[in-house]
Structure 1
Amino acid sequence: MSQLYPPYTIANAQELTKLWVDAMVIGQNLCPFAAPERSRGSIRYVVVQEQDLSAAMDGFLNELLFLQKSPEEEASTSLVIFPEGFEDFEVFLDLLDVAEDALVQSGVEGLFQLASFHPDYQFADLPAEDITNWTNRSPFPVLHIIREGQMGRVLDSYKSPDEIPERNVALMEKLGAQGLIKCFPPFQDYIKSTA
């Protein structure tokens, strides 16, 4: 049975991000720790509509505060989605820098950490067209707030966690652009033809 996807539009940012997590992060096992949290219903998806850095950071900080006040069983992690204003990857990296500084300034570094995803994600040492970049490519810009204690416990119980990135790169190489589109059809709306 084929899954139907909504149009790739800003209005569908939250739904498409959830579907991406289901199809890629969990479906392709990019993060072996995500499926149990989805089953528990403890993954939060929050859309920040603000397009300028300061207002967007307010949305991020509100979600960070929510996580701090919430029990891990109810809200284990948050994907903060920025559908507008951060489409340019360099602008998104500025947002990431400010968000990481905010973790330090608010005294929660060591309690929370960030992972980042973007439609044009590019690792610093790789060309834009390298398929490896797709391990961190998502339908919309996302800052993923992770509880460090929870991640530490999960990593301690996982055999060979250091092999996860290598396995993910090998998967991207095996799938290629067309395989990625088959796994998550909305990729066709923004995937680079050179990937």
Structure 2
Amino acid sequence: MSKEINAVSQWLKEVVIGLDLCPFAAWPEQHNQIRITLSRDTTEDALLETLQSELTLAAETPASELETTLIVIANMLEDFDDYNQFL
């Protein structure tokens, strides 16, 4: 597992779940139904393809196996304004 995925997994457990910021996160995390994937994309088009791939995977996988996906974007959108504009 990459250091980026490890960091997000720790943040999910300690902050999001630990502080109860999302009451829906604990159950799927405990049942290994949260996918954390690393994107090393460097262009918006490539990132959109990654997003589409994850959306397709989520739509085609039963919720009992995959509840949600987190995409860790390692090489883009580090500035919130860039992230917000991409959205």
Give TM-score, length-normalised by structure 1.
0.43
Q: Which has the larger radius of gyration?
A: 1
Identical-pair percentage: 27
What is the CA distance between 1:39 and its match in structure 2?
1.0
What are the Cα deviations for residues 66-114 of structure 1, in whole angstroms up to 9, with x where unaligned?
0111000100111111011111111111222xxxxxxxxxxxxxxxxxx
AA aligned to 2:39 is: V
Q: Distance in 1 between matches of 2:38 and 2:86?
A: 15
Bigger RCO (CA 8 Å, 6+ sep): 2
Residue 74 (1) aligns with residue 65 (2) = yes
1:91 match: 82
Aligned to 2:64, the other structure's residue is in SS state coil
Q: Distance in 1 between matches of 2:49 and 2:70?
A: 15
1:34 match: 25
> Which runs of 4 or more aligned residues in structure 1 lie more than 3 Å from their structure 2 counterparts after TM superposition?
none
AA aligned to 1:17 is: V
CA contact (8 A) 1:45 1:81 kept: yes
Give TM-score, length-normalised by structure 2.
0.92
Q: Distance in 2 between matches of 1:95 and 1:17?
A: 21
What are the Cα deviations for residues 15-63 of structure 1, in whole angstroms up to 9, with x where unaligned?
1000000000011111111111111110110111102111111111100
2:40 match: 49
1:109 match: none
Aligned to 2:66, the other structure's residue is in SS state coil
Question: Any gaps of 5 or more consecutive residues in structure 2?
Answer: none
Residue 20 (1) aligns with residue 17 (2) = no
Q: Distance in 1 between matches of 2:84 and 2:3?
A: 23
Question: Any gaps of 5 or more consecutive residues in structure 1?
Answer: 1-10, 97-195
Aligned to 1:78, the other structure's residue is in SS state strand
AA aligned to 2:7 is: L
AA aligned to 2:18 is: G
Matched ranges for 1:1-195 at <5 A: 12-96=3-87
AA aligned to 1:58 is: E
AA aligned to 2:5 is: Q
CA contact (8 A) 1:44 1:78 kept: yes
